[in-house]
Amino acid sequence: MSFSIEGKTAIVTGGANGIGLAIGRHFADYGANVMFADMDEKRLKKELEDFPDDGNVRYFAGDLRERLTVANLLSATIDAFENIDILVNASRQVLRTDPLDVIDTSLETLIDQNLMTSYRITQAVAKRMIKQAADGPSDRPAGSIVNLSSIAANSVQKNMLAYSVSTAALNQMTRAMAIELSQHNIRVNAVAFGSLMSASLQSALKENPEYRQEIEDKTPLGWIASANEVVEATQYLASDASRFMTGHIMTLDGGRSLVDTVKAAAH
């Protein structure tokens, strides 16, 4: 099977920094046409200034929580590259939750950001993929959708209720959409990670440097991986190499969730 994504067109949300940026750059380096999407237009311009204007990279700035913005993103991608073959939902947010604060809105915020935004974009892109498949060769895969999730979906940490719930919902949406879209030859999978040096973790470590040692102690491999660690897993799920895989949540965490599972069983 081929791991190649050369010539395919990918939309990568959350593309201005961290893991989304790393995935988009990796895809572009391996010959894919990439539309980087993010709210932060200034950061997008800065991070992508080394790519030629007429090359295989474009960017789109806007609030993807808005349906009109999603429609405009698809139009911009089709205008630039004609088709959409891959969607990577890498836009995500982490907020702390006070479960006893009646005015705490973190759950609503993260459900909207981490679940509903990905769901709406998946709907829009899937419709485009179905149309492309109807107009193209019958043996061509219609498309691949990859959601970025977290091991927090299967574990509970203090003050992380909203993040855990939103990522758990994203995992279940991944499985459900995999079934719904399978008849159209569209695959939907997710990468759930922990112990990766994401933008949110970098920010947390600046505020609480001793947190690094705590994470490393809980990770069997004993270190925090860079954002680049997730890109090849995402490429695998996006490529034809994984064409018989759908509805799968791939875990990349250095074994950390295994430790949590053992501790839970022991109690």
**35 membership: H or E segment, kind and range:** strand 33-38
2 occurs within a structural domain: no
260 occurs within a structural domain: no
For 184-222, the pLDDT digits (tens) are: 999 999 999 987 887 677 888 888 888 888 888 888 998
22 occurs within a structural domain: yes
* Rounded CA separation 198/201 (Å): 5
Q: Which of 29-38, 206-215, 231-240, 244-253 has the lowest mean pLDDT?
A: 206-215
Report CA dihedral (231, 235, 241, 243) to the nearest 10 degrees: 120
4 occurs within a structural domain: no
Mean pLDDT of 141-160: 90
Rounded to 5°, angle at Cα 132 from 129 and 137: 120
Mean pLDDT of 222-229: 84
266 occurs within a structural domain: no
Percentage above 70 pLDDT, the chain: 94
> What is the pLDDT confidence band of residue 138, given thresholds at 50, 70 and 90?
low
Neighbours of 106 (CB within 10 A): 22
Predicted local distance difference test score (pLDDT) of residue 168: 97
Q: How many domains does the chain have?
A: 1
pLDDT at 139 over 70: no
Measured in degrees and rounded to the nearest 5, phi and psi for residue 128 equal: -65, -40
213 occurs within a structural domain: no
- Pick from 66, 173, 186: nearest CA to 117: 66
For 62-95, the pLDDT digits (tens) are: 999 999 999 999 999 999 999 999 999 999 888 8
pLDDT at 266 over 70: no
128 occurs within a structural domain: yes
**CATH code for the domain of 144:** 3.40.50.720
Range of the domain at 169: 9-197+225-253
Predicted local distance difference test score (pLDDT) of residue 243: 93
Give the residue, 256 or 122, on which the prediction is more confident. 122
Predicted local distance difference test score (pLDDT) of residue 64: 96
Predicted TM-score (pTM) of the model is: 0.91
Long-range contacts made by residues 37-42, C-beta under 8 angstroms, separation at least 24? 37/11, 37/12, 37/13, 37/61, 37/62, 37/64, 37/73, 37/91, 38/13, 38/14, 38/91, 39/63, 39/64, 40/16
231 occurs within a structural domain: yes
For 108-124, the pLDDT digits (tens) are: 999 999 999 999 999 99
Q: How many residues does the chain have?
A: 267
